[in-house]
Structure 1
Amino acid sequence: MKKTRLLNSELSYLVATLGHTDEITIGDAGLPIPEGVERIDLALTHGVPGFIQTVEVLLSESQIEGVIIAEETKQVSPELHSQLLEVIKKDSESTGKETNVTYVSHEEFKVRSFDSKAIVRTGECTPYANVIFQTGVTF
């Protein structure tokens, strides 16, 4: 059995196959997922698993260099936005690598997510609980 935090086999496989600059989206329960993009559906019920919890586990297993967030998140869900930035900051500090955060409109975010290697659906029901991670390298 794995010793690390990430136990979901689909998500573990995805992380193992990511290359430099690949993108992965983690979304709330309502984020549209288009045909042709891999869907990893973790949602069990409202709020389970949570968005921040899913982000923390994913970051414990993968290196990121960029983050894309919908601009609307700051106004509509400020508490979640602050939590997300704190998790990203902690990850950046623990790896010693800078993480670039970019904001786009929610419409641009949805279009951009279509190019993700996969979209991970959580049970989160907080509006705009979505993020795109651009993978980095560990060396």
Structure 2
Amino acid sequence: MKRNGILNRHLAGALAELGHGDGVLVCDVGMPVPDGPRVVDLAFRAGVPAFAEVLDGLLAELVVEGATAAEEVRRTNPAAWTLLDGHFPALELVPHERLKELSARARLIVRTGEARPYANVLLRCGVFF
């Protein structure tokens, strides 16, 4: 049994399969989930688990070389904007419709229970060396 880190076996296994350049969408409960990418659905109840909690856990385990979010997050969800801006100084912002298009090419989608709008980010995996 793992001692720490991500304990969810489905999520831990999916993360272990990622490679350089793969996309991981961390999304709120309302984000449409496209057919194709592997999905690990962590949503339990509205707000549980929170977007911030899941993102922090993922960032502790992944090397991330870039991130993309919906430009609407700045004006609609200040808490998510502050979190994203703090983690990703070079965050790419695109219209929400474009983020939905890009999510179809993600290798993995991690759905949280977040119930505030535009709490979504598409991470691009890097390499540790």
TM range (shorter): over 0.9
CA shift digits 1:22-58 (9 cap, x unpaired):
0000100011111222111000000000000000001
Tell me the equivalent position of 1:80.
80
Alpha-carbon offset, residue 101 of structure 1: 1.6
Q: 1:119 aligns with which of 101, 109, 114?
A: 109
Tell me the equivalent position of 1:101.
91
Q: Does 1:129 align with 2:119?
A: yes
Tell me the equivalent position of 2:36.
36
Give the Cα–Cα distance (whole angstroms) in 2 for the partners of residues 55 and 82 of structure 1: 13
Give the Cα–Cα distance (whole angstroms) in 2 for the partners of residues 38 and 51 of structure 1: 18
Describe the SS at the equivalent of 1:61.
coil
Alpha-carbon offset, residue 10 of structure 1: 1.3
- TM-score, normalised to structure 2, is 0.95
Tell me the equivalent position of 1:8.
8
Identity over aligned pairs, percent: 40
Contact persistence 2:67–2:124 (CA under 8 A) = yes
Give the Cα–Cα distance (whole angstroms) in 2 for the partners of residues 35 and 75 of structure 1: 29
Q: Which runs of 5+ in 2 are unaligned?
A: none
Once superposed, which parts of structure 1, at least 4 consecutive aligned residues long, lie more than 3 Å away?
A: none
- TM-score, normalised to structure 1, is 0.88
Residues 60-71 of structure 1: pairs in structure 2 closer than 5 A: 60-71=60-71
- More helix per residue: 1 or 2? 1
Give the Cα–Cα distance (whole angstroms) in 2 for the partners of residues 85 and 53 of structure 1: 16
Contact persistence 1:65–1:100 (CA under 8 A) = no
Pairwise CA RMSD: 1.2
Give the Cα–Cα distance (whole angstroms) in 1 for the partners of residues 8 and 66 of structure 2: 23
Q: Which runs of 5+ in 1 are unaligned?
A: 90-98
